[in-house]
Amino acid sequence: MILLKLKWSVVSVCLLLAFCGLSQTSTTLLEKAELAYGVNDLLMNGRQYKEPHPTAKGDPFLLPKMIDGTVYIKGEIFEDVGLKYDIFSDDLLMRVTSKQAWFQYIVANEQLVDSFQIEDRKFLNAQFIDGSEKVGGYFEVLNNGKIKFYQKHFKTFNDVHDSKYPNGYFFTGFPSLFVLENGTLTKLKNKGALLKYFKNEKGPLKQFMKSSSIKYKKATNEQLKSIAQFCNETRYAE
């Protein structure tokens, strides 16, 4: 039985890779996988995706629709890959389509993925961020300054059963903001923590947020990026 399952796994993954709708080059994804990592790594870590609580209200994804993006796997670049990011399970999903037009999502191997990009948003594997070992998963990159700002997105599932939510519902939590400076990763839970961290720049930072109409708990990605830029320019002003 174990041997049969293993054989079926090998066949399944080979079919998935053969049908994968990634950008075509002179070397196929299967060949790259075999040359770079060996198919065994993909067999041991890749798996078919099963959506959690599919009958609940809402969904576990950062963005509800599949979007073509770019995945960086051990230095290799794969463009125009159908991606969805499950922020409840913290899994990156890749859409695999066959010539017969059926498709399914497979969970990308987190040990192999360096980063991925959806539209203009880049997400970095936690293993490349100092001090993030206990957090894991993926972080959204907000800037590339001396003080690096990251966001950690998440959703929770409320397992209620009533007339309004007979099968429970997903709740989108406020993203956690992290800063990485001098090799130390710090979580900023709220506006107070942000101002405390930048205590030497507190006055100018408060004024900047006020003049820019930035409310911390409702800040957009672009507003957070502007805060990151302001903090870098203020703290490391030449």
Question: Is the pLDDT score of 44 beyond 60?
Answer: no
Q: What pLDDT does residue 99 have?
A: 55
Say whether pLDDT at 94 is over 80.
yes
State the pLDDT at residue 74. Answer: 86
How much is the pTM? 0.78
Residue type, 195: L
Over residues 225-235, the pLDDT tens digits come to 999 999 999 99
Residue ranges per structural domain of the chain: 2-188, 189-238
Model confidence at 127: pLDDT above 60: yes
Give the pLDDT score at 238: 62
| Helical spans, DSSP H, in the chain | 2-19, 29-36, 39-45, 191-197, 202-211, 221-235
Rounded CA-CA distance 168/88 in Å is 14
Of 1-15, 44-58, 135-149, 173-187, the one with minimum mean pLDDT is 1-15
